[in-house]
Structures are given as C-alpha cells and as structure tokens.
Amino acid sequence: MNARTTAQRVRRGEISAVSVLEDSLARIHAENPRLNAFLRLDEEGARAAAERVDALVAAGDDPGPLAGVPIALKDNLCQRGVVTTCASRILGEWRPPYTATVVERLAGAGALLVGKTNLDEFAMGSSTENSAYGPTLNPRDLSRVPGGSSGGSAAAVAADFTPVALGSDTGGSIRQPASFCGVVGLKPTYGLVSRFGLVAFASSLDQIGPFSTTVEDAALTLEVIGGHDPRDSTSLRVGAPQLVAHVDDGVAGRRVGLVRELFEGADAEVVAAVHTAAEVLRAAGADVVDLSIPELSLGLSAYYIIAPAEASSNLARFDGVRFGHRVSGEDVTAMMEATRTFGFGDEVKRRIMLGTYALSAGYYDAYYGQALKVRTLMIDAFARAYQHVDLLLGATAPTVAFPFGAKSHDPMTMYLNDVFTIPTNLVGHPAISVPFATGEGGLPVGVQLLGPGMSESVMLAGARILERDREGL
C-alpha cells in the first residue's frame, strides 16, 4: 500500500499505525537478512511513534500527512541516539546527539522511522558494494547490484519494506538506484531540502530526496521535508512546496527537450525506453523537441574534481579525536593516521586523495579552478536550454542493474554510470527517475525528467504522465 493511501486510512481510523508498522517489520524480518537493505532497525522508536499516531487519531487529532507511514532512512542521516555509520568503519557505533531537519519533519508529519539503510561508504559509489557492512542485493534480481549510493533505501522500497525511503543524491545516488530497482527517485532543487544532519559528501552537490513506489508519494514526501531551514545557510528562503495538488496537472502545452547527450551511449533498450517516453509525453499533449547540449559531456570530469575536493575537506573531521572509532598511536598525529587508514575503505581513500591533489598549491588552477569554470559553463548551457523548453528528458542510467563485481574492479567504468545524472547536481536543478520499461532479464529501466530550479511541480506532473502510461503499456 502506498504512503498516501496508508496515511489517509490511518488518519480516518480505518487501520492502525501499529498494524501498518507490524506488517512492515514482518516483511523486513523475513527478507532483510537476505537483501541487507537495512543496516539497523529502530523498532522501539518506530513502535512508540505508531502508538502516538494511534493515540492522536483516537483523540480526534490529526497526526499529519504521513500518519503511520513507515519510512526508511539512508544511514548518512542523523537521528538522535540511533547509531549512524555512513556504512563506514570509521564511525564505529557513533550515536548522533541531534536529529537531521528532514528526520524531524518526517516524525512531525506522523511518519514511523523504522531504521537505517545501507549505502556505499559515505555515499561514494554506484552499486552499494562499497559498504563496510556488505552489499545490498537488488530485490528484482538477487545476483545484481541495487545501484548506489542509496542502494539500501531503493531496495527497501522495491522490496515493499516501506513505501517511502530517504536517500541523498550527490551525482545520481537517488536516481540511479531508483532506476535499477524499479522505483521512483527524486533529487530536489539544491537548497529546497535542508542538509542539516546529513553527513556531507560534497556539500555543494548533496541533496536529500525521496524514494517511493508512486510519483504522488514522492510529491507528498517532498512537501513534508522541503522548505527553508535556518540551520542550513544554503537552504532556500521558500516555504514548503505545494506539489500533490499539481501532480495531475498533465503536460498539455509543455515543451520537453529530448537531450541527445542524456541517452547517447546507453544500452539499446534504455535508448528505446527514452524514445517511448517521448512518445508518451507527446501523446499527452507535450511538444517534444530534439535538443543537444554539448556542455553536458563535460559534467563527469568536472564532477570527479569538485566532489572529491569537497569530500577531502568534509571527511577531514573523521580523525578519531572527538567521535567514532579510534585506533591508538604514538601521539595524536599517529593516532589520526592509524584511525583513518583503518577506518576508510578504498573508494573513500581514493576520492580523498583525488580531492586533496586537485586543491593543492600548483594544481588548483589546472584542476579545481578549471572544474568550477566548467560548472559555470553548464549552468549557462542549461539556462539557454530552458529558454526554449520546460523540461528535459533522458535516461537515468546507461544500463539496467549490473551483476555484483562487474565494475567494482575499475573505478572509471563505475564512474561512467553517473554520466546522465551528474549534470543536474552540478547546476543544482531537480530531476526525477521514473520506472518506465523493462530490459534485459525483465530488469527495470528508469527514464529521467529534468527541470530548472524550483520546477518540481511541473516535473512531477510530467513524471506522473510517464508513470500512468507505463501502467497502460
């Protein structure tokens, strides 16, 4: 049962939040040992929340728009007192003394926070194979990766553990696993959702967003978690977005750009899905035009300078001094070195080194400085495109979910997975992946809709059309 229906029935008293939760937990207990989507459950906390929701309903009060909806959190989101690992050894059994803004808002809307999901360590990866706590299996095909880095959250929704999960998207970490697992994944406009309490990977790119089984649930969740937060300086000064009311607005009269650089080089079945999606939008009244934005091909290389550069600084604080795991050493410097050597996995170390190098004296201009210029070029290129169209259409990922180990030996091949998702992060725009077709072995294929900053409402209406006509296919 999707989130919106669940919440409606709980609010009307037709079902109890406790029973919804117990159903969810039963499925998790049955399947999670195999899938490894959840790293940790907070059953006690979730039960207490469910009882509060039921008590409010019994008293005639409204527990909120997500009343009784079980929700999973990617394990890089802080929740007071609940172990947060970022799927890294370096945090040990760290329990944050505070709660992320998005988690507070979910709880305030009546959601039941059932636990923390697996990810690539510090959200660095595209397969969830980089977790210190073992990979998550794709519920659609257990021999394949769920994508990443928010693979645990995508799998939790795909396996029907929870109707909604939160992930974070720095270069595609929500949309690519959504595509691989056959669920909806939304990356909001940068600044629409507070990052307070999200353990940073690359601060200028990170954005929290929902996974769900329906477009409407993604809209509903974003309404709850979006809007200004004074604790995040990069938070936009906007109120909570109004999205659900517009989700069925359709695309009649909208102009959509079918962007060559956002599907070229993808597998044939993926390209075919994108073209079908274009036909669906056209049939619904949109004016779909072919577009080329050559600057998009620069995104990947700029991203792999900017994101590691910020990460090298963001991850400096994991030094064993104040929190997390500590490996002792001769003196403080030796302790820090030993802690980081033990605590970080290979991919994290690789990116810290890349980023450190890119920011170093003598290299800054050639690497980091240059990447910032590319970013500006891309912002301008998108702005030009959006003078002519309302939305852009492309693929989410070049392939369907790949088998375990297929790419983990070669970082460059793995990085290429993000080629279609990275541009929106670099320019701070929203994008959504909608499950649209099936490919090799019946595996899901997602297509991606992109819009300019704060165009979520229009973008979701387009996504709703793709979702509807996928059902009809």
Q: Catalytic pick from 74, 116, 187, 407?
A: 74
Query: What is the phi/psi pair of residue 192, to 5°?
Result: -75, -35
222 to each of 165, 178, 343, how far by Cα in Å?
Answer: 11, 16, 34
403 to each of 64, 141, 172, 407, 440, how far by Cα in Å?
Answer: 41, 9, 19, 8, 12
Residues 93-112 that bind other proteins (CB under 8 A): 94, 96-98, 100
| String of contacts with other proteins for each residue 275-314, x by CB under 8 A | ----------------------------------xx-xx-
Q: How far apart are CA 393 and CA 451, in angstroms?
A: 9
Assess 329 for contact with other proteins (CB under 8 A). Answer: no
Total binding residues for other proteins by CB under 8 A?
Answer: 47
> Which of 59, 361, 412, 473 touches other proteins by CB under 8 A?
361
Q: How far is the CB of 332 from other proteins (least distance, A)?
A: 5
425 to each of 106, 190, 224, 345, how far by Cα in Å?
Answer: 24, 8, 22, 24
Assess 417 for contact with other proteins (CB under 8 A). Answer: no
Query: What is the phi/psi pair of residue 358, to 5°?
Result: -65, -25
Strands 444-450 and 391-395: antiparallel
> Which of 253, 322, 409, 471 touches other proteins by CB under 8 A?
322
- Residue identified by tokens 């990356």 is 187
Q: How far apart are CA 31 and CA 471, in angstroms?
A: 26
Q: How far is the CB of 473 from other proteins (least distance, A)?
A: 41
Assess 354 for contact with other proteins (CB under 8 A). Answer: no
Following CA atoms 248, 251, 252, 256 in sequence, which dihedral angle do they give, to the nearest 10 degrees?
180
Assess 452 for contact with other proteins (CB under 8 A). Answer: no
> Which of 12, 29, 231, 388 touches other proteins by CB under 8 A?
231
Assess 383 for contact with other proteins (CB under 8 A). Answer: no
Token pair of 61 as six digits? 């009060």
Closest to other proteins by CB, 65 or 188: 188
User: By the 8 A CB rule, do 1 and 14 touch?
Assistant: no
Stretch that binds other proteins, among 77-85, 384-392, 400-408, 462-470 (CB under 8 A): 77-85
> Which of 317, 373, 384, 388 touches other proteins by CB under 8 A?
317
**Is 74 a catalytic site residue?**
yes
Assess 342 for contact with other proteins (CB under 8 A). Answer: no
Q: Catalytic pick from 16, 24, 126, 149?
A: 149
> Which of 336, 401, 432, 460 touches other proteins by CB under 8 A?
336
Angle of CA points 420, 207, 317, to nearest 5° = 115
Q: Catalytic pick from 16, 24, 88, 173?
A: 173
383 to each of 189, 211, 276, 424, 429, how far by Cα in Å?
Answer: 14, 27, 26, 12, 11
Q: How far apart are CA 309 and CA 296, in angstroms?
A: 20
Stretch that binds other proteins, among 92-100, 109-117, 238-246, 343-351 (CB under 8 A): 92-100
User: By the 8 A CB rule, do 127 and 118 touch?
Assistant: no
**Is 349 a catalytic site residue?**
no
Stretch that binds other proteins, among 73-81, 393-401, 406-414, 428-436 (CB under 8 A): 73-81
Assess 319 for contact with other proteins (CB under 8 A). Answer: yes
Assess 91 for contact with other proteins (CB under 8 A). Answer: yes
Which chain residues interact with other proteins by CB under 8 A?
Answer: 76-78, 84, 86, 91, 94, 96-98, 100, 195-200, 202-204, 230-234, 309-310, 312-313, 316-319, 321-323, 330-333, 336, 356, 359-361, 364, 368
Residues labelled catalytic: 74, 149, 173
